[in-house]
Structure 1
Amino acid sequence: MRKLYTGLAWTVAGAVVIQAAAIAFAFGGMLNLVAEGGVVDKALLESFQAAGVGEVGFLIHGVVGGVVIPLVALALLIVSFLTRTRGATTWAAIVLALVAMQVTLGFSITDVPYLGLIHGANALAVVAAASFAALRMRRRSSQPVPEEAKTDAVAA
C-alpha cells in the first residue's frame, strides 16, 4: 500500500506539471493565431473551432484538471487509510483540499479573472504537498525496523 500511496502522490504532482505544459501550449497557440491575423472573440470561443496549433492544450488542461487530478487525489486519500502510516491521511487530505480549491478556482476564473493569480500559486502548493507526501512515505519505508519489532519473542 505504501508504494501505491507514493505512486498516487507522484501522479498528482506530475499531472500538475502536465497542466502547466498544456496551458502554455494552448496560450502559445492562441498567440500564434493572433500573430497570423486571426481574431480571438466570443464567437471563436463558442464555436470550439479555433483550428489553432495549441487548441488541444485547453482541452487537456480542462480534462486533466477537472477530472483526472481530483480522482487521483481522492484515490490517494482512500489509500492513505490503508497504509497505516502516521501522517499519511493528513497529507492526503491536504492534497485533496488543495485540489478541490484548485478546481473551484479554475471554474471561477471566467467570472473573476484575478483568481487566475491564485490558481497558479495554488498549483505550486498542490505540487509541493503531493511531493512532500510522496517523499515522506519514502523516508518512512526506508527506515530500518528495529530488531525487537521483528520478532514476537518476549525479552527476559
Structure 2
Amino acid sequence: MRKLYTGLAWTVAGAVVVQAAAIAFAFGGMLNLVSEGGVVDKALLESFQAGGVGELGFMIHAVVGAGLIPLLALTLLVVSFFVRVRGARLWAAIVFGLVALQVTLGFSITDMPYLGLIHGANALAVVATASIAALRSRRGRVADATDASPARAEGASPDAVAA
C-alpha cells in the first residue's frame, strides 16, 4: 500500500507538470497563429476549428485538469486511509483540498481572469504538497499502535529521565 500511495502522489505531481507543458504548448500555438496573421476572437473559440498548432494543448489541459488530476487526488486520499505511514492522511487531504481549489479556480477564470494568477501559484502548491506526501511516505516511519504515546512520538525512550 505504501508504494501505491507514493506512486499516486508522484503521479499527481507529474500530471500537474503535464498541465504546465500543455498550456505552454497551447499558448505558443496561439501566438504562432496570431503572428501569422490569424485572429483570435469569439467566433474562433466557439467554432472549435482553430486548427492551429497547439490547439491540442488546451484540450489536454482541460481533460487532465478537470478529470484526471481530481480522480488521482481522490484516489490518493482514499488510499491514505489504508497506508500505515504517519501523516499520510493529512498530506493527502491537503493535496485533495488544493486540487479542489485548483479546479474551482480553473472554471472561474472566464468570469474573473485575475484568478489565473492564483491558479498558476496554486498549481505549484499542488506539485509541492504531492511531492512532500510522496517523500514523507518513502522516508516516514510506519505508524502502529505502540507509537500512540506522545513520548514515543518525540523519540524519547521509556527509560528517559524527566528534567
Same fold per TM (> 0.5)?
yes
* In structure 2, C-alpha distance between the alignment counterparts of 1:87 and 1:19, rounded to whole Å: 27
* In structure 2, C-alpha distance between the alignment counterparts of 1:33 and 1:86, rounded to whole Å: 51
Q: Deviations over 1:53-83 (max 9, x none)?
A: 0000000000000000000000000000000
After TM superposition, give the deviation of residue 141 of structure 1 in Å: 5.9
Query: Percent identity over the alignment?
Result: 81
Q: Which residue of 1 aligns with 2:49?
A: 49
* In structure 1, C-alpha distance between the alignment counterparts of 2:32 and 2:84, rounded to whole Å: 51
RMSD: 1.0
After TM superposition, give the deviation of residue 115 of structure 1 in Å: 0.1
Q: Which amino acid aligns with 1:126?
A: V
1:18 matches 2:38:
no
Q: Which residue of 2 aligns with 1:4?
A: 4
**Could you state the TM-score of these two structures normalised by the residue count of structure 2?**
0.86
Please show how residues 6-155 of structure 1 align to structure 2 within 5 Å: 6-140=6-140
The alignment partner of 1:85 has SS state of coil
Q: Deviations over 1:72-127 (max 9, x none)?
A: 00000000000022210010000000000000000000000000000000000000
Q: Is the 8 A contact 2:77 2:93 kept in 1?
A: yes
Gaps of 5+ in 2: 143-163
The alignment partner of 2:6 has SS state of helix
* In structure 1, C-alpha distance between the alignment counterparts of 2:42 and 2:72, rounded to whole Å: 33
| Greater helix proportion | 1
Where in structure 1 do 4 or more consecutive aligned residues deviate above 6 Å? none
* In structure 2, C-alpha distance between the alignment counterparts of 1:10 and 1:138, rounded to whole Å: 11
**Could you state the TM-score of these two structures normalised by the residue count of structure 1?**
0.89
After TM superposition, give the deviation of residue 32 of structure 1 in Å: 0.3
* In structure 2, C-alpha distance between the alignment counterparts of 1:53 and 1:13, rounded to whole Å: 26
The alignment partner of 2:86 has SS state of coil
The alignment partner of 1:49 has SS state of coil
* In structure 1, C-alpha distance between the alignment counterparts of 2:108 and 2:44, rounded to whole Å: 21
The alignment partner of 1:83 has SS state of coil
Q: Which amino acid aligns with 1:8?
A: L
- Would you say how many aligned residue pairs link Structure 1 and Structure 2? 142
